[in-house]
Structure 1
């Protein structure tokens, strides 16, 4: 029998998908069945189910529970998805007393979600350090067979950073990923119609998780021979991870993935478009870090490749970013020229999102020059387009910019309403940098109104976010 509450938190996997993964991994599944049959009852034993996608792990668990040979076993699924989890045993000991043990059945614990606290990078995750430290207490305090259900990288990290616990391992059951699982993940991430920067936080995190699973699948270390198609997908995944982390202001992590993509693309003629996209993203990061010269050099390298292959959309986006830099350096005429070239190309190819972004930036230039009516007109054109295509990031930016203008015109109530609407959108999509900027502006309004305590609280919230993303 299954613990109802945890299991109901999982998506029921269709029978065809369960059959597909078991047929692909019949030998591993048979070994897993043998493990659960021979492990002693009321005694600690440890095994690992290795599968890179949560959907497949759920399919394996459901196939195991429903198997005729397992009807005399009681499986309890324990979910621990907290990324800040440190003391696993303490959490297990909180749950165990609530488990209604069925007489004459072998109790087996299935542990899921630990990949979040194990992490993909960095040395000695706190959870694994503690797991290794208390390993001798498990046979005494948790006298039941236990299966950890994890992706391959997490199992490798258990072996590396909790070697004493790993010594208890009685079996690792490796399940290969079915092609349809990989294809579904690609369609939900790389081929999705909505860009990852425009996703709300839960969907963005879900996509990042899928991208990380795809990255594991398309690396040659997992035994699959790497074809040119696999390499291209791997570069695309790395690029998309870079974009995702950049959109969350996690610049160092974004740079880490993008530099891997750039190294893989090298000078291969078949990957020019991917290399150009990577250079563009790295330029964006350097610009946000304030390294203008590096940013310009990266954008110009990207532009050279884009012109070589005739990529109009990429060229328009790169001109746009160069215009931002020149505007910030006070070279207004040059910036406007680049924006107008970018806008012309975007209108030519029907790039509504890109057009909205460039209109927003032109609004900023005219606002800085004191041409308020012209600035408002550009912002409102941009806002209309972002609402039309449900582009939350762009809409939030336009609301923020309009609020600045209304603040300067003394229309404080209108400005506050726009800032708050922008803030709500920034929180939805996880745009930390945008949220910090909006909190800062709101604080300024309340400070000018004499609401000092409220202003200080908002400034402190903004400061905390700026420190978090390293915005010196």
Structure 2
């Protein structure tokens, strides 16, 4: 997919931000200015602008376009964001005829977004293979200066996997990231109030993109020393990336990031909390991959660390997860024991949201065992908490489970339909896809009741 946007459609970067990135990289910017000036018009040449964050990249582009020395130049900015793109030249040839060339101005093409197709891992991305195959077509088909705007990892991969195309390169202009850009990215990701797994799809993808760029920033390169705080930030980024990909059921990718985090944490006691978080997340991933034995071992390792450092909140989380694992294995007694331990700790620290979730899970276990009265009591306790704290999703789930239980085990169809209807109304208000499931359950209960 190709997007060719006029300059006035791009988000304007404030003047102060443009000045900051230029002043922080004055030498690189001056070299870029010289480069675009000396390259002849109507002659192919290739350059790379290295910048890890989109905001900084766009600030550089706008500073270049607005510079007095560039007023006799026509900049065409193209976006190629499709991660499945293979043939860049084909996409360029689709849009090239639409370019309205301004007389007496040097034409310069700036290419953004191809890092998505280049990718961060794996050998010989198809697009880079094609770069090599068609490289001799560029001077013929695009007889102008082309500037690729890419993060550092993508430029490295072009050099490694498209060496023939890379040989055309006449200049690479490295722009370092100002501290305020990194701080902004951290505030929007690691320090955000909303967890990444709770984000909607577009917001989640934006967070993943920022986290990926933060990972580049905090991965040592060019001999730069890594401080202990940098290392902690890198591990936090890896953990958040893993959580994001796990929430999209991309378990192998999540595991890839968590393995890196654990390799970095090793046995450093100063990194014990981060290591335990990684072990806990990896246990969840292994559970989803069907590796139950590994999941139990990892969760127990995480719990030992959390108990040692006195992190009660995360200890309850590991107990809750272990209980779920044993419940899935059919080891009901162990599951109940772990849920009870988790419940006691949650009560101790006043984690009412977690308490409701554990009560809900215990209710399900007792329902499966046929202990209907206990199941109903636990569901009602969880429902009471969800109502107090205003958790609509939790209320809907408890209403639905109570309704099914009363219909299936008690034959109390009136009460069951009352609960199910309340669940449906909440889910419809939330526009939850679970509303359709509850509708089907209501229809079955009505049919069973002869209504």
Shorter-chain TM range is 0.7 to 0.9
Alpha-carbon shift at residue 254 of structure 1 (Å): 0.7
TM-score normalised over the length of structure 2: 0.86
Distance (Å, rounded) in 2 between the aligned partners of 1:221 and 1:112: 23
Instruction: Quickly say closer, same or farther: Cα 1:80–1:334, change in 2 above 3 A.
Output: same
Query: Does 2:79 align with 1:73?
Result: no
Q: Any stretches of 5+ residues in structure 1 without a counterpart?
A: 427-434, 450-472
**1:265 touches 1:272 (CA, 8 Å); kept in 2?**
yes
Query: Does 2:168 align with 1:168?
Result: yes
Distance (Å, rounded) in 2 between the aligned partners of 1:445 and 1:282: 35
Alpha-carbon shift at residue 386 of structure 1 (Å): 8.0
Residue of structure 2 equivalent to 1:258 = 258
1:132-147 matches, cutoff 5 A:
132-147=132-147
Query: Does 2:316 align with 1:313?
Result: no
Residue of structure 1 equivalent to 2:25 = 25
Residue of structure 1 equivalent to 2:448 = none
User: SS in structure 2 opposite 1:220?
Assistant: coil
Residue of structure 2 equivalent to 1:287 = 287
**2:320 touches 2:358 (CA, 8 Å); kept in 1?**
yes
Distance (Å, rounded) in 2 between the aligned partners of 1:72 and 1:407: 78
Residue of structure 2 equivalent to 1:373 = 376
Residue of structure 1 equivalent to 2:64 = 64
Question: How many matched pairs?
Answer: 433
**1:51 touches 1:149 (CA, 8 Å); kept in 2?**
yes
Q: Deviations over 1:222-262 (max 9, x none)?
A: 44310111111111111111111111111111111111111
**1:403 touches 1:419 (CA, 8 Å); kept in 2?**
no
Q: Deviations over 1:79-136 (max 9, x none)?
A: 1111111111111112122221111011111110111111111111111112221111
Find the structure with the greater CA-based Rg.
Answer: 2
Residue of structure 2 equivalent to 1:343 = 343
Distance (Å, rounded) in 2 between the aligned partners of 1:96 and 1:159: 26
Distance (Å, rounded) in 2 between the aligned partners of 1:399 and 1:101: 65
Distance (Å, rounded) in 1 between the aligned partners of 2:292 and 2:56: 45
User: SS in structure 1 opposite 2:221?
Assistant: helix
Instruction: Quickly say closer, same or farther: Cα 1:297–1:6, change in 2 above 3 A.
Output: farther
**1:266 touches 1:275 (CA, 8 Å); kept in 2?**
yes
Of stretches 294-303 and 362-371 in structure 1, the one that deviates more from structure 2 is 362-371
Q: Any stretches of 5+ residues in structure 2 without a counterpart?
A: 446-451
User: SS in structure 2 opposite 1:47?
Assistant: strand
Alpha-carbon shift at residue 346 of structure 1 (Å): 2.5
Distance (Å, rounded) in 2 between the aligned partners of 1:185 and 1:379: 37
Residue of structure 2 equivalent to 1:198 = 198
Instruction: Quickly say closer, same or farther: Cα 1:140–1:17, change in 2 above 3 A.
Output: same
Instruction: Quickly say closer, same or farther: Cα 1:381–1:69, change in 2 above 3 A.
Output: farther
**1:396 touches 1:425 (CA, 8 Å); kept in 2?**
no
Distance (Å, rounded) in 1 between the aligned partners of 2:405 and 2:7: 52
User: SS in structure 2 opposite 1:221?
Assistant: coil
Q: Deviations over 1:344-376 (max 9, x none)?
A: 322433435433432332232233234263464
TM-score normalised over the length of structure 1: 0.83
1:357-396 matches, cutoff 5 A:
357-370=357-370, 371=372, 373-374=376-377, 376-377=379-380, 380-381=383-384, 384=387, 388=391
**1:323 touches 1:335 (CA, 8 Å); kept in 2?**
yes
Q: Deviations over 1:191-234 (max 9, x none)?
A: 11111111111111111111111111111124431011111111
User: SS in structure 1 opposite 2:5?
Assistant: helix
Q: RMSD of the alignment, in Å?
A: 3.2
